[in-house]
């Protein structure tokens, strides 16, 4: 029995511990946002998930290796698609066919968590995903916009101005979700 936390829910898989995490997520949990993309050396990165906050290819991790870990899929990144990277991908028109998008969003979210102002070289190193539609030139703008939004969210949620409620602060910044609100 493999036990882990997936999208903030404790789960147990009664499956072969050698099974790739990808198939347990897709088949046993119906989390189909994590895409099967060939695996091995042909992997495009569409299967990317966060494992303890690090973006990893779920086709290359077994259930045994995921034991006790915190797994976040694209479905768990935000319930309402309000994550800054998700918003920036749409705003910058960086979504084409959409197949690789979940993996790219996960990779960019992990990068943004580590580095709020990455360089183009940082972005290229952090996003090993293959996109046949060619959205790469837009990814720099995506991460720049997402970094600005994330910085605003942190400032508002961490220290709203005296006399201003978190709800009023959230209304002052479009598309800002105050942590804890509506959960």
* Structural domains present in the chain: 2-76 (3.10.20.30), 84-161 (1.10.150.120)
Query: Residue 102: left (phi > 0), alpha (psi -120 to 50), or beta?
Result: alpha
- Rounded mean pLDDT of the chain? 80
pLDDT of 11 above 90:
yes
pLDDT of 63 above 80:
yes
CA angle, 43 as apex, 112 and 133 as ends, to 5°?
Answer: 70
Average pLDDT over residues 51-57: 94
Q: What is the pLDDT of residue 175?
A: 34
Distance CA 167, CA 183 (A): 14
pLDDT digits (tens, 9 = 90+) for 145-175: 888 887 776 554 444 444 444 454 344 333 3
pLDDT of 27 above 50:
yes
């Amino acid at each position: 029995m493999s036990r882990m936390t997936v999208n903030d829910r404790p789960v147990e898989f009664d499956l072969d511990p050698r099974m790739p995490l990808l198939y347990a997520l897709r088949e046993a949990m119906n989390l189909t946002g994590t895409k099967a993309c060939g695996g091995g050396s042909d992997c495009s990165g569409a299967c990317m998930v966060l494992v303890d906050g690090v973006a990893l290819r779920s086709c290359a991790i077994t259930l045994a290796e995921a034991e006790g870990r915190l797994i976040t899929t694209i479905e768990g990144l935000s319930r309402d698609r309000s994550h800054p990277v998700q918003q920036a991908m749409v705003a910058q028109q960086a979504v084409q066919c959409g197949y690789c998008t979940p993996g790219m969003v996960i990779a960019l979210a992990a990068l943004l968590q580590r580095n709020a102002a990455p360089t183009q070289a940082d972005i290229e190193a952090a996003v090993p995903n293959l996109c046949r539609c060619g959205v790469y030139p837009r990814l720099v703008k995506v991460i720049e916009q997402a970094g600005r939004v994330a910085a605003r969210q942190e400032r508002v949620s961490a220290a709203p101005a005296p006399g201003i409620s978190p709800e009023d602060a959230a209304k002052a910044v479009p598309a800002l979700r105050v942590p804890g609100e509506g959960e």
